Each structure stands twice: as C-alpha cells, then as structure tokens.
Amino acid sequence: MLVDDHDLVRSGIKRILSDVGDIDVVAEAGSGEQAVKQAREVKPDVILMDLSMPGIGGLEATRKITRSMPGAKIIAVTIHDDDPFPARLLEAGAVGYLTKGCDVREIINAIKSVYLGEQYLMPDVAQKLALSFVNHRDKAPLEELTQRETQVMLMIVNGEPNKLISEKLCLSPKTTSTYRYRLFEKLGLANDVELTRFAIRYGLIKENITH
C-alpha cells in the first residue's frame, strides 16, 4: 500500500513497482486518516508511509496502524534523513526507513526485506541512528520533543488550526495549547512563523510546499 499526499509521488512509485513481477500495489491513501482506514480494510503485506501529510500525518498513522495491527510492516518514505525521525518512527512501529532520494533498487530491496520479517534502514540513516545513541548528550533540537509534541508540531507546520488538531488527536483545546507552548519553549521559538522557518530549515516541509 502506498501512502503519500502527492498524487504524482504515488503514481511514480506505483509505476516503478509495476515493473517488478512479484510486487502489487493493492491500495493507495493520500492522508494519515485514509491510511489507517485502508490498512484495516485491505491488510496489506507492506505499507510505504509518507511522514509529512495533512491531518494526523504519517507518524500518528503508523502508531495507530501498528496498535490495531501488531504485525503491520511499515516503511517510512520521507524527505528526512536526520534524527529524531528514524528513531521516532521505529518507536511508533515502523520496520523500515527510506528517504525520497533513494534509488529504485533500494525501494525494492526495502519492500522485500521487511516482507521477509527484516528491518530495513538506509546505510546513512542507520549510521546516524547509531551515532545518536553514542552521542546522546549532544541532542539535536528536535530530540528534545516528546512524540506527541512532535506530532502537534508537524500538524501546525502543515497549517492545521488548534481546533482541528484537538479533534483529530482527541485532545481538549487546552491540552493542545499546552503541547504547543511546550514545543515552542523547548525549541526557543515565539510563534508559528518562526516554527515554520524552523521546519523548513530542518527539512520538515519544503519552502514551496502547499496543501
């Protein structure tokens, strides 16, 4: 199953996989909410999951899918190659991590590896992940955030208002505001504009991205 909010990306990956005889795309989704629904209905062998999407996003979708389907095999396919996202996604239940700059062969190898029950991380991501445990004292700014704070941050930079974030995460508006305050405090930021600039700098969103 392919999960990405850009039709062009999904079409491109689907076209690539169509040339592989033993891999079929059984479902597609354009948001985290759709991904959760489709996964429960179709029960795909492997899910390629984008991280930065409108709504609950790939991180929370991964968490929801693996909670209801413990055997789900999810590969995160994102623009991120820095911590804490590989670690966060693995904690959420993903078994693979690729960046969108990887080549075709790597995507195919990742799908086949996780299908066979193995974990798959791109070599440079695996190295950074290992180094992050060795050098845990030198935390990157994003590593200071909890999983929920990271989730709220991704929804904010994707343009979700507080009310919608509260509804989608089943939180009270007050709790959502608390998470917002904490992440601003931890990152040393004052408002949504600064958070958006921060997100662009760290590759969470592209400068010209629109939803």
Place of tokens 């690539």: 16
CATH number for the domain including 150? 1.10.10.10
Domain boundary among 92, 117, 134: 134
pLDDT in tens, the chain (211 residues): 999 988 988 998 888 888 887 889 999 999 989 999 999 999 999 999 988 787 788 888 998 999 889 888 999 887 765 545 677 777 788 888 888 778 888 899 899 999 998 888 776 666 555 545 444 444 566 667 787 888 888 888 878 888 988 888 888 999 999 999 988 888 888 888 888 888 776 656 655 444 4
Q: Which domain holds residue 178?
A: 141-201
**What's the confidence (pLDDT) of residue 133?**
44
Between the CA atoms of 170, 172, 177 and 182, what dihedral angle is there, to the nearest 10 degrees?
-70
Q: Which tens digits make up the pLDDT trace of 142-155?
A: 667 787 888 888 88
Domain boundary among 107, 134, 161: 134
In a domain, 209, yes or no: no
Q: What letter would DSSP give residue 68?
A: H
In a domain, 208, yes or no: no
Domain co-membership, 86 together with 178? no
Domain co-membership, 58 together with 116? yes
**What's the confidence (pLDDT) of residue 139?**
53
Q: Which tens digits make up the pLDDT trace of 8-18?
A: 889 988 888 88
Both tokens assigned to 184? 């601003």
- pTM score over 0.75: no
Paired with 28 in beta bridges are: 2
From CA 74, how far away is CA 68, in angstroms rounded? 13
**What's the confidence (pLDDT) of residue 137?**
44
**What's the confidence (pLDDT) of residue 123?**
67
CATH number for the domain including 116? 3.40.50.2300
Domain co-membership, 65 together with 167? no
* One-letter amino acid of 12: G
In a domain, 210, yes or no: no
